[in-house]
Amino acid sequence: MKTMRILAAGLLAAGSLALVGPSTAVAGNEISSVDRPQPVDQPLRALAKRHDLRIGTAVDMDALGSDTTYRTLVAREFSAVTAENVMKWESLEPVRGQYNWGPADELVEFARRNGQKVHGHTLLWHNQLPGWLTSGVADGSISSAELRDIVRDHIKTVVRHFAGKVWHWDVVNEAFTDGDNPVLRDTIFKTALGPDYIAQALKWAHEADPRVKLYLNDYAIDGINAKSTAYYNYAKQLRAQRAPLDGMGFQGHLDLQYPIPIDAAANLARFDKLGLETAFTEVDVRYFLPASTYNTAGQVGSFTVLLQACLLTPHCVMFTLWGFTDKYSWVPGFFTGQGEATPLDANFQPKPAYTALQLTLAGATGPRHRDF
C-alpha cells in the first residue's frame, strides 16, 4: 500500500498534481486515498468511507418493516442509523417497569447485519416521555426523590441493555432554551435532580457502559450563535469538572426562511478544540411548498454547507439525515405548509440535494474522521 502511494506520488509529481485538486500537498510526499478523485455515482456510505466518516439516517421502524425499497436503501446508502422514535422513553417503557425492547432490538440487529453503527437517541428528553411519568410528576404521586431513582434506573437499564451495540448516546436532548440568553430548560429532570442533572446523567450512563460515547444534542446550534455559545461554555465547564462528555450533536434541522449557518465549520472547530467529537445528527432542510427554483438551490447549498463543515472537522465522526425520503419525513406533520426536506423525493428519486451530497463527498480532501 505504502509503495503504491509513493509510486502514485511520483507519477503525479509536478504538473499532473492539478488533476487531483487543490489540497494534494500531503505531508511526507504521499498521496493518500482521500486525495484521489472518486467516481461520483456511488452510494453515500461508499463515498464517505474514504474519509472514515459515517453517513447515517433516522430509521422509521414501520417503514423498515413494510417498504422493501426503503429497507434496501437504508442498507445500501448508510453506514449509521438512528432510531427515529423507538429508543425514546415513551417507546421503551410505555408501562412503568415494563420495557418493550422489540423494535429497538430489531434496528440494532438490522444495523449489525448491514455493517452499520447505531447512534442512540435519546436517554433524557422533555418530549415523548411516557404518560405514567409525566402524569405522576404532575399530580404529585411521583416525588422528586422518586423521580431521581426513576431517572437513574432508566439510564442504567437502557445503556446496559444496548452496551456494546450502541456507538454513542444522546444523553440529554435539547437541554437549552432558545433566544438571546439561553439557559438550561426547566424540565422535570432539572426540577427533580437540580441544575447539575446533566453531569449526573453522564456519570450514570458512563457507569453503565464505560465504552459508549456520550453526547449532548440540540437544534439551532449549527452556526455560531447565542445558543451554540451557551453549549460551548457549558461543555467546557463539564469537561473541566471531568464529567464524561465525549461529543456534541448538532441536529441540523434547517429551514430556508432563516439564514443558512454558513459558519458551521467554525462552530464545529471550537468544539473539536475542546477535545470533543462532533456529529450532525438530524439533518433536513425544509421550505414552504410549492418549491421554487430558489428553494432547490437553497437546499443544495444547505446540505453542502453542513456536510463540508463536518468534512473539515477532524473529529466530526457522523453525518446523519433525519430521514432520506420525503415519503416518510416528519416535516409536513410538524411544520404546516412545509416539506420536501430530504434528499430523495417521495418516489425515492434523487433530488439535486442528493447529488450535492455525493459530489461533496467525492470531491473532498482534508482530514480523516477519527474518534477521540
Nearer Cβ to ligand XIL (311/322): 322
**CA distance to 119, 197, 203, 245, 269, per residue, from 238 (Å):** 22, 11, 11, 7, 18
Nearer Cβ to ligand XIL (35/90): 90
Q: Which three cell numbers stand for residue 12?
A: 503525479
Q: How far apart are CA 117 and CA 277, in angstroms?
A: 16
- The binding track of 273-292 with respect to ligand XIL, each residue x by CB under 6 A or -, is ---------x----------
**CA distance to 1, 41, 112, 167, 219, per residue, from 363 (Å):** 22, 12, 29, 27, 28
Backbone angles phi, psi at 205, to 5 degrees: -65, -40
Is 174 among the catalytic positions? yes
Our CA angle for 264, 267, 271, nearest 5°, is 135
Q: Is 77 in the site for ligand XIL (CB under 6 A)?
A: no
- The binding track of 230-269 with respect to ligand XIL, each residue x by CB under 6 A or -, is ---------------------x------------------
Closest CA to 171 of 134, 209, 211, 198: 198
Which DSSP letter does residue 139 get? T
Q: How far apart are CA 293 and CA 326, in angstroms?
A: 18
**Least separation in angstroms between CB 5 and ligand XIL:** 42
Binding residue for ligand XIL, selected from 32, 38, 85, 114, defined by CB under 6 A: 85
Binding residue for ligand XIL, selected from 70, 167, 303, 330, defined by CB under 6 A: 330
Binding residue for ligand XIL, selected from 35, 44, 74, 84, defined by CB under 6 A: 84
Helix (H, G, I), strand (E, B) or coil at 325: strand
Q: Is 57 in the site for ligand XIL (CB under 6 A)?
A: no
Closest CA to 47 of 274, 263, 359: 359
The one catalytic residue in 84, 174, 277, 340 is: 174
Q: Is 222 in the site for ligand XIL (CB under 6 A)?
A: no
With CB under 6 A, what is the number of residues at the site for ligand XIL?
Answer: 6
Q: Is 358 in the site for ligand XIL (CB under 6 A)?
A: no
Q: Is the dihedral of CA 257, 267, 233, 317 positive or negative?
A: positive
Q: Is 187 in the site for ligand XIL (CB under 6 A)?
A: no
Q: Is 173 in the site for ligand XIL (CB under 6 A)?
A: yes
Q: Is 32 in the site for ligand XIL (CB under 6 A)?
A: no
Q: Is 326 in the site for ligand XIL (CB under 6 A)?
A: no
**Least separation in angstroms between CB 16 and ligand XIL:** 47
Is 146 among the catalytic positions? no
Active site residue ranges: 174, 282
Please give the residue ranges that form the binding site for ligand XIL (CB under 6 A).
84-85, 173, 251, 282, 330
